[in-house]
A = this chain, B = another copy of it.
Amino acid sequence: MTVHTRGRGLVDITAQLRDALDRSGLQAGLATVFVQHTSCSLIIGENADPTVQSDLERFFARLVVDGDPLFEHDAEGPDDMPAHIRSVLTGCSLGVPFHGGRYSLGTWQGVYLWEHRAEPHRRHVNVTLIGH
């Protein structure tokens, strides 16, 4: 699965994940979603109010400051090392169960790829389905 990001921010990939499950025909089991990068991550977040997403972004920007002189690794710019740290804090692998051919997500849960780099990127997402 390929996800095109528009620079730093959350991209809702729930619909793409639903398509993958539908195509598989599987009814019950576990989906493992995995990003093959160390500067973006996968989270489950609130899908109703857009200010949750902007607040998340602002909180993490304050927690892990771009261009912080603490960081030696800045070959790709001031957002380089912060992207790696945000990725470690939020994770690149996510297990989502499914039953009756549908993900067991709560009403307000969406699955997001979180781009941590300032520039747009093309991200590879691996979806592995185990079940019957």
Residues of A within 8 A of B (CB): 28-30, 32, 34-38, 43-46, 49, 51-52, 54-56, 58-59, 62-64, 70-73, 75, 81, 84-85, 88-97, 99, 104-109, 124, 126, 128, 130-131
Q: Is the interface of A mostly helix, strand, loop or mixed?
A: mixed
Contact A108 B37 (CB under 8 A): yes
Contact B96 A45 (CB under 8 A): no
Give the complex CA separation of A128 and B131 in angstroms. 10
Give the complex CA separation of A63 and B59 in angstroms. 10
Q: Tell me the number of copies of this protein.
A: 3
Contact B34 A52 (CB under 8 A): no
Given A36-B107, A38-B109, A94-B95, 9 extra CB contacts under 8 A: A29-B128, A30-B130, A38-B44, A44-B92, A55-B81, A63-B63, A93-B95, A104-B126, A130-B130
